[in-house]
Amino acid sequence: MTLYQLLKALDHERLAGTEGERRGCETIISYLNSLGLKPYTEEFDIHGFESGTATISVGDISWEATPYGLCGDSEVEGELVYLENADALLLNPGRYDGCIVLYYHSDKRLYDLAAEAKVKAFIGISAPLKTAYSYSHRQNLPKDEIFPCVMLRYDYAEKLMKHAGKMIHLQIKQDSGTRTARNIVLDIPGKGRDNALTLLVGHYDSVARSHGACDNAGGSVCLMKAAEYFARKQPERDLRIIWFSGEELGLLGSFAYAKAHEAEIVSRVKLVVNVDLAGDPIGRNVVFVMGSKELQGYAGGLLREQGLVFSENLNIYSSDCMPFSIYEIPSLNLARLGGKGLFHIHTDKDTAANATEYGLKDVFLATKTILDRVLNAMMYPVPTGFDDSLRDKIERYLWHSTLEKPELKWKEKYKK
C-alpha cells in the first residue's frame, strides 16, 4: 500500500479514549500484522470526553460552537462582553465579573485569566476562513477550576459581537469521564551491535471533530512504512516504534510511556525520532533539533546526501519528544508545514482530501534516511546533551504542559 492509501484508512476522528481511537489502533495493528510483525498495546487511563456540542443563542438567533474538552454538561447566561484582547480582564479587575467574554487573542493563558476574573464563560474566536478550532482543558486542572469555554468561527463571531451588552445563553452538552487510551508499540530487534535503543515515535490520535490527516495520520503512516522497511532490512541496533495516543490532550501517551519505562529510557535510549505533521501537497519540510548543534549538522548533512532539503531549527518542538527531554535525550522532529492541510489544523477540514502522496514522501524518506544511518553506524553517531539555549525553553514548556513543576533529570554541566 502507498503512504496515501494508508492515510485514507485513518481518515476519521481518533480522539483519545473514544471508539475512533480504537478503530485507528486496529487499523495500524492490522497492517503491521499483515507484515508478519507483532505489535502490542499499552493502556493508560485519561480524563476523556466525547466531542459534544455547544450552542450560543441571543433571542431567536443561535450559532454552533465547539466546546473545549472536559467542560462536561454546562449551561450559563450572562451579559456578552467583546474584548479583542482578553488581557483587559486583568487590567480592569472586577469590571466584567458575571459576564460571558468573547475574545480574539490574549497574551495570558485562560487559566490565569479565570483565576483573576470571575467571568461565567469564555468564547474564543478562530482564525478567519477556518472552521472552529478544537481545544481541551488540561488533565490535572482541578474540576472546580474547569470553566465553560468554547471556540467560535470567525464569521459567526462577526455577527455575535454586534450583540455585545445583551444577555446571551451558552449551552454545552458533552459526556466526560475516565477513559482508556492505547499506545501501540513495535520492537524491531537489531543484530546485536550494542545495547543502544533508538525510538521512532509519532501520535495517531486527533483532536475532537478532526480527522487529523496531516496532524498526525501523515506521521503515523510514515512510521508504518518505516516498520515495513526495517522488518525487511534488519538493522544492526534495536529499534522501537511507538504510536502514541493522547498527544493532543497534553502528550498523555508519551508521558505515560516515559513514566512506565523510565529505567530503560535512562539506560538505553540514545535518540528519539518524532514524526509529527505530514501530507501537505505544497509545503516546507523542517527538522526541529532538540539537542546539540553537532546533532543539527549531522542530521542536516544526512538529509542533503539523499537530496532532501529540510530547514534546520535548533529548538524545542511541542510534541511527543518532550517527555524524553526530562532525561536529556536528544530528538529529531520531522514535520511538513505551510500547506492547505496544516492551514486547517485542529479543525474538521484536516482530512485526506487536503493531503497527497507527494506531501508524505519526503517526510518518510527523511525518517528512513536518518534511522538507516544511525541504526547501522559502527559507533552510535548521535551526540548527547542539549544546547544551553534549549534548557530554559524545555523547562518552561513542561511547566505549562503539565501545570506541575517538572522533575528534570539532567546531568550536571560542571563538576568541581
Report the distance separating Cα 208 and Cα 17, nearest Å.
11
Task: Identify the band that residue 62 occupies on the pLDDT scale cut at 50, 70 and 90.
Answer: very high
pLDDT grade for 403, boundaries at 50, 70 and 90 = confident
Q: How far is CA 224 from CA 33, 174, 204, 290, 350, in A?
A: 11, 33, 11, 24, 20
Quote the distance between the C-alpha of residue 299 and its chain's center: 23
Distance of alpha carbon 6 from alpha carbon 31, whole angstroms: 9
CB 215 within 8 A of CB 345: yes
How do residues 307-351 score in pLDDT, each as one tens digit? 999 999 999 999 999 999 999 999 999 999 999 999 999 999 999
pLDDT of residue 402: 87
Measure the CA–CA gap between 61 and 54, rounded to whole angstroms. Answer: 14
Distance in angstroms (rounded) separating the CA atoms of residues 320 and 253 = 8
Q: DSSP letters of 61-95? A: EEEEEEEPBT--SEEEEEEEEEEEETTHHHHSTTT
Residue 41 DSSP SS3: strand
- Residue-level pLDDT at 414: 64
Asked if pLDDT for residue 30 goes beyond 80, the answer is yes
Torsional class of 217: left (φ above 0), alpha (ψ -120 to 50), beta (otherwise): alpha
Is the pLDDT score of 301 beyond 70? yes
pLDDT tens readout for residues 144-158: 889 999 999 999 999
C-alpha distances in Å from residue 201, one per residue of 15, 276, 402:
18, 9, 20
Average pLDDT, the chain: 96
What the block records as the C-alpha cell of 79 is: 451579559
Beta strands 74-85 and 100-105, pairing class? parallel
Burial class (CB in 10 A: 0-12, 13-18, 19+), 183: buried
pLDDT digits (tens, 9 = 90+) for 130-147: 999 999 999 988 888 899
Give residue 415's pLDDT band: very low, low, confident or very high (50, 70, 90): low
Residue 416 scores a pLDDT above 80 = no
pLDDT of residue 140: 87
* pLDDT-derived band at 115, boundaries 50, 70, 90: confident
Judged against a pLDDT cut of 80, whether residue 278 lies above it is answered with yes
Q: In this predicted model, which residue has the larger pLDDT, 111 or 372?
A: 372
Mean pLDDT of 280-284: 97
pLDDT reported for residue 144: 80
Please check the confidence at residue 83 and state whether its pLDDT lies above 80: yes
**Rounded to an integer, what distance in angstroms lies between the CA atom of residue 200 and that of residue 274?**
6
Residue 378's pLDDT is: 98
Q: How confident is the model at residue 74 (pLDDT cuts 50, 70, 90)?
A: very high
3-state secondary structure of 321: coil
Strand 167-173 and strand 53-58: pairing? antiparallel
Would you state the pLDDT for residue 141?
87
Task: State which H helix or E strand residue 230 sits in.
Answer: helix 218-232
Give 410-413 contacts, CB < 8 A, sequence gap 24+: 410/328, 410/386, 411/328, 411/385
Are 128 and 154 in contact, with CB atoms under 8 Å apart?
Answer: yes
CB atoms within 10 A of CB 229: 16
pLDDT number for residue 178: 96
